[in-house]
Amino acid sequence: MDLSQQAAATFDVESNAQEEDRKLVAAILQKDRKATAEFVERYADQIYLYIRSRLIPRMDLVDDLVQEVFLAAWENLATYRGDSPLGSWLQGIARHKVENYYRTFLRAPLPLEEAGPEASNIVMEVDIDELLDRGRLQEKVRSVLTGLSEAYSLALLWRTGKTEKAIERLLARAREMFRERWKND
């Protein structure tokens, strides 16, 4: 089999898979319970593993986020065009749910209860100059991070769904940009 025949065979397999995905979605939209069960069975493990790998060590949140992905998928299933595999479409929803979790998490202040009992005594033990310096440092970090592109700032704060090499390159560029802006700020 030459290269053009291999490419044609691969295209046929992909076309058949996408047609199968479109039929599955159409059946689900027709309220077919078997199709819905097949949909969950086919993609639940893939989505679960993806989310689990992104939320370690917060394993307590994985099941909730997987449910959110499937709920979002069902709510938006009518918008699935079938241009890409259904699994990739779901993976995109999962990626957005994880990103939204981290955006929310990174913006939320840490409650004192989670900081531990010693947290209530910290203010009394730290002198005011140290508190002001820490506040200035945090404000400068926040200022520099907001000046970076979202991809760079998020890469510095948490890992994304990119390959290891892509993350290494992204982190190197993000660190360099952070250093430059730190010096110039």
- Which CATH number is 52's domain given? 1.10.1740.10
- In this structure, are 94 and 123 located in the same domain? no
Greatest mean pLDDT range, 12-21, 122-131, 134-143: 134-143
Token readout for 19 is: 């047609």
Single-letter code of the amino acid located at 110: L
Higher pLDDT, 154 or 145: 145
Instruction: Tell whether the model's pLDDT for residue 4 goes beyond 60.
Output: no
Please check whether residues 31 and 88 belong to one and the same domain. Answer: yes
Asked whether the CA dihedral 98, 104, 110, 113 is positive or negative, the reply is: negative
> CA 34 to CA 94: how far, in whole Å?
23
Range 33-66 burial, b when 16+ CB lie within 10 A, else e: eebbeebbeebeeebbebbbebbeeeeeebeebb
Q: Within this chain, do residues 21 and 101 fall inside the same structural domain, yes or no?
A: yes
Claim: this prediction has a pTM higher than 0.75: no
CA dihedral (116, 117, 118, 119) in degrees, to 10, reads: 60
Q: Record the tokens describing residue 98, joined without a space.
A: 């994880």
Cα 82 from Cα 66, distance rounded (Å)? 22
Last residue of a domain, one of 108, 140, 168: 108
Number of domains present in the structure of the chain? 2
The yes-or-no verdict on residue 122 having pLDDT over 50 is no
CB atoms under 10 Å from CB of 174, counted, come to: 21
